[in-house]
Amino acid sequence: MSTTTIGSGRTSTASGLDSVLDRANSAQAVVQRFLGRAGQPTLRVSLGLVFVVFGALKFIPGASPVEGLVSSTWNSLSFGIIGGYTALAVTATLEVLVGLTFITGVFLRIGLLALAATFVGIFSPLVFFTGELFTTAGPTLTAQYILKDVVLVAAAMVVGAVALKRPIGRR
């Protein structure tokens, strides 16, 4: 057995260090199991809350900072058929529906499909309104608001991967 002199002048044996490392590894395993069990459901519910809150704001005129953007995007996507409050109401309904499926876990696959459609709408302004969203100084605040949704896409991918493990059918 080897010994090492430590700062206090005491000697430490390799087996003592191994014991500390074993306890640290055991503690790490406990934390990893907890994160493995709780992480994905927490991510799913928190993603759902984000969609419920941001969707609900769109039902209230003047409450959402992206009202004009939502209306303009729907106007572009629908070739001028949908705009104004109708665009906000449709977007709000879709986002709240997605959020509720994520929070409850009920009809989650349908929520994931609706979320995919929502992301098309969320990122469309980057294509339709590039000149308005990016200036010589960089992305505008609205562009930054859109670009941060890349994190939501990543979170949705994790939720989707877990949700789609189960076969489709009755429980």
Token pair, residue 15, equals 């087996």
What local confidence, expressed as pLDDT, does residue 19 receive? Answer: 87
For the stretch 94-140, pLDDT in tens is 999 999 999 999 999 999 999 999 999 999 999 999 999 999 999 99
In angstroms, the CA 58 to CA 115 distance is 16
